[in-house]
Chain A
Amino acid sequence: MTERADRDIELIDQYLQGDIDAFNELVEAHEDRVFAICLRMLRNREAALDAAQDTFLTVFRKADRYKAQAAFSTWLYRVTINTCYDHLRREKRKRADRLPETYDPADPQALDPFEAVEVRPDIEQALQQLSPEFRAAVVLVDLQGMSLEHASDTLEVPTGTIKSRLFRARKQLAQSLGNLRPPSEHQNGDTGES
């Protein structure tokens, strides 16, 4: 366990004993990352704030069930992703009730008639065209810098599945973006080799 993980376990114990400072420290330690995951998963800022709040509510209401068999952050980010899945499912149901006749869901390039306002394809829009499972892999590994193994634990799928999702998701992103290069590359001419 890392120092952060050990500290999280102490804080959970203290929180369960009624220590509000422990609650504050836990939230402050993780809120930025939870919010960032939610925003990248949901794109909509308000929805991301709601999801972040729901995530912490779930975690703190069930904190007594945390057994420290995995890092607290693994559990927290798992709840975060699952909460985002819940939000996406609810949003999908809502949209199904109000789709206009001209909207063709079979067209993968079709813009969401209720949210998309930019015509220029960009990375954020391309991200939203990924399936939630592919997007989660990209968000955790490529945007949050999580290791493949940590992402595997968080999403509860084998590492091979994470690799497969990452590979296919990036391929889909690249194809969505066509030959567009990221903004920074236009400025410095970097080839992007890593």
Chain B
Amino acid sequence: MNEQDRDLIIALAQGHLSTDAAGQANARIEADPELASAYAEQILALDHLNSLDAPQMTIDERSGLHANLIEQLGLVPVPETPPAPAKGKATWWAPVVGLATAAAVVAAVVILPGSSDESFDDVSAGANLDTAVTSTAASAVESAPQTATDELGATDAEELTVYATGSVELEELIEEADGAGSPQAVERQLAELNFTSTVDLDTDEVQTCLNELSTDLPDGITEILVLGADVDNESTVVHLGFDFGSGVEDGLSFVLGDCSLVDHAPQG
């Protein structure tokens, strides 16, 4: 059977042929056992497929989906949280959803390539992680409307204001942020830990370390969020959360400046 025969069978099975053409096709199929067999298989499969009911969400599933989307996209006002940043630069991510909110503390969103809409993504789906991390700043900017782009691009050394996490371990931050997939959701969930101060991070420095640590990042990350930072006299440790498509599930910590990884093995 050649391609034309296949197309004829498909067109007939789809009901795409005129009455005359369908009559001729039927006559041809009846005269050729191979075509007849192939056509019968197509019809049998279609009959079975047509017997399936259209799946429907329940009311609870529907309302759950809406609620989750609204939360994950930050489409609700962010509740009052600890000290507002003085610089007022920290809301650049908020217009990502077109609804700027008066958030006090931000988490950086870094979108990596390879997500689910390759054709609309300027970054090649085949880009390796190194390329991906190198381009994260641009990706983050791309995901925001023009006003946000302009604001972010306006200064060379933009700052992020994040929670000062003190002695709280990364594991606890991840556990608290579990499932959150947006900066707002992360911020809201981490607020439960009652942090009382914030830290300003230089985005260029964070970006530099992300580039250096690219080989340490697990596969499948769709977003990286800064969960917070711990500052002492000698160093600043930045805590990252990884979203694999369904909210923060993992993460790592590194020392800002030398970009060394911090071991978070369970305390003995």
**Footprint of B on A, CB under 8 Å?**
15-18, 20, 23-24, 27, 31-32, 35-36, 39-40, 48-50, 52-67, 75, 78-79, 82-83, 85-86, 90, 123-124, 126, 138, 142-143, 148, 156, 160, 163-164, 166-167, 169-171, 173-175, 177, 180-185, 190, 192-194
- Whether the Cβ atoms of B65 and A66 lie closer than 8 Å is no
- A18-B99, A31-B62, A177-B48 known; A167+B116 contact, CB < 8 A: no
Q: Contact flags (1/0) for B1-37 with A, using CB distance below 8 Å?
A: 0010011011001110000000000000000000000
Is residue B55 contacting chain A, with contact meaning CB distance below 8 A?
A: yes
- Whether the Cβ atoms of A82 and B48 lie closer than 8 Å is no
A32 nearest CB across to chain B (Å): 7
- Whether the Cβ atoms of A175 and B41 lie closer than 8 Å is yes
Could you show 30 A-B contacts with beta carbons less than 8 Å apart? A15-B98, A23-B75, A27-B69, A31-B65, A32-B54, A48-B55, A55-B116, A56-B65, A57-B72, A64-B144, A64-B145, A78-B117, A82-B116, A90-B220, A148-B14, A167-B6, A167-B10, A170-B13, A170-B42, A170-B45, A170-B46, A171-B45, A173-B44, A177-B48, A181-B44, A184-B47, A185-B47, A190-B47, A192-B43, A194-B43
Q: Report the number of A-B residue pairs with Cβ-Cβ less than 8 Å.
A: 172
Cα distance A19–B211 when bound, in Å?
36
B66 nearest CB across to chain A (Å): 6
Cα distance A50–B111 when bound, in Å?
20
- Whether the Cβ atoms of A32 and B143 lie closer than 8 Å is no
- Whether the Cβ atoms of B69 and A20 lie closer than 8 Å is no
Is residue B96 contacting chain A, with contact meaning CB distance below 8 A?
A: yes
- Whether the Cβ atoms of A184 and B51 lie closer than 8 Å is yes
Cα distance A48–B55 when bound, in Å?
11
B69 nearest CB across to chain A (Å): 5
Cα distance A101–B7 when bound, in Å?
43
Cα distance A62–B52 when bound, in Å?
33
Looking at chain A's contact residues, is the secondary structure mostly helix, strand, loop, or mixed? helix
- A18-B98, A167-B10, A170-B46 known; A82+B55 contact, CB < 8 A: no
- A57-B69, A82-B116 known; A142+B46 contact, CB < 8 A: yes
- Whether the Cβ atoms of A16 and B98 lie closer than 8 Å is yes
A93 nearest CB across to chain B (Å): 9
The B59-97 residues at the A interface (CB cut-off 8 A) are 61-62, 64-66, 68-70, 72-73, 75, 96-97
